[in-house]
Amino acid sequence: MRITFFAAKSYDKDSFNKIKDQYPELELEYWETELSPKTASYVQDSEAICAFVSSDVSEKTIRALGERGVKLILMRCAGFNNVDLEAATKYGITVMRVPGYSPEAVAEHAMALAMAVNRHLHKSYMRVRENNFSLVGLTGVNFYGKTAGIVGTGKIGAAMARICHGFGMKVLAYDVYQNPDLDFAEYVDLDTLLAQSDLISLHCPLMESTHHMINIDTINKMKDGVILVNTSRGGLIKTDDLIQGIREGKFFAVGLDVYEEENANVYEDRSDQILEHSTVARLLNFPNVMVTSHQGFFAREALQAISKTTMDNALAFMEGRKNGNEVTA
């Protein structure tokens, strides 16, 4: 089976090429171009395509893929909120994803963001490069003895909860489904978590029920001086309300690996361009905000897991096997 990859970076090619000899049934073709209704025409004689979280897998794209004989969409990521699953069903296309790939990588990045913005490491680094060794404005707070609020306790959220527990923090958790492995965490309602947490870390999927769950109403329920971290999905936070909260002094610090309107920028070098949207520029105007480039997953172990699971998914589809990684509307 031939698989056409879209938005394939050098690290994607390296990771998949390292294991492709283990899958002689699969032929790989790479395009650096992002998937869209227009670039769907690049598919030639491929039964499958491989896309990413930033890809346009809308009804229009899926229709174009179906017209070119595509039967399988392989998402080399856990999220699939950018995929029109109803359209996939309509055009007889199976969608498969990678549900878990080194959740510790994302959790460790979440804590790295929390620590960096708390101790102003981004500011300190730039100062020292200019021979400025002043400590003014670099005061942080201890995490030990504080309360961490984990919103979403799936694999990534559970990993973050364990990290916070290891730091000597009290851990509050909020999720529709309680994780029995987190016997040290106290499950509470969202309002209680918001009101009592010194550090809030978001680890839930983006769905209709979670879209803009962090808004001016929920922000007003948080402690003054709270640290907020989001390594999940940008749409969980209403950006305008977040900016209002920052301006009003609600947050001690904010660390974001994802943000609204990021799709045009994800994994692209835009350093010599003027950004069409002002979200990043507005956020970076604040000295207590740190934004990274959706890199929470980006660890060697995660790349290995992504490539192997994606190839296993393709093989299972070829052989007519269900392996639990299929997603439907």
Question: 224-259, pLDDT tens digit by residue?
Answer: 999 999 999 999 999 999 999 999 999 999 999 998
* Structural domains of the chain, with CATH: 2-101+299-327 (3.40.50.720), 103-291 (3.40.50.720)
Most confident listed range (89-103, 215-229, 262-276): 215-229
What is the token pair recorded at 175?
């999720």
What is the token pair recorded at 324?
């639990």
Whether 18 shows a pLDDT value over 70: the answer reads yes
What pLDDT score was predicted for residue 127?
96
What pLDDT score was predicted for residue 277?
64
C-alpha to C-alpha distance for 203 and 160, rounded to whole angstroms: 9
Q: pLDDT band at 263, cuts 50/70/90?
A: low
What pLDDT score was predicted for residue 276?
63
Marked catalytic residue, from 262, 268, 270, 319: 262
Q: Which of 46, 69, 66, 45 is nearest to 57 (CA)?
A: 66
How many helices (H) and strands (E) in the chain? 11, 13
Residue-wise pLDDT tens digits, 118-169? 999 999 999 999 999 999 999 999 999 999 999 999 999 999 999 999 999 9
Please indicate whether residue 262 is annotated as part of the active site. Answer: yes
Please indicate whether residue 59 is annotated as part of the active site. Answer: no
What pLDDT score was predicted for residue 140?
97
Residue-wise pLDDT tens digits, 264-318? 555 566 667 666 667 778 888 899 999 998 899 999 999 999 999 999 999 999 9
Report phi then psi at 306, rounded to 5. Answer: -65, -50
**Given CA atoms 118, 119, 125, 126 in this order, what sign does their dihedral have?**
positive
Marked catalytic residue, from 29, 233, 247, 248: 233
Q: pLDDT band at 53, cuts 50/70/90?
A: confident
Read off the amino acid at residue 149.
G
What pLDDT score was predicted for residue 267?
58
Q: Which of 317, 264, 258 is nearest to 79 (CA)?
A: 258
C-alpha to C-alpha distance for 231 and 154, rounded to whole angstroms: 13
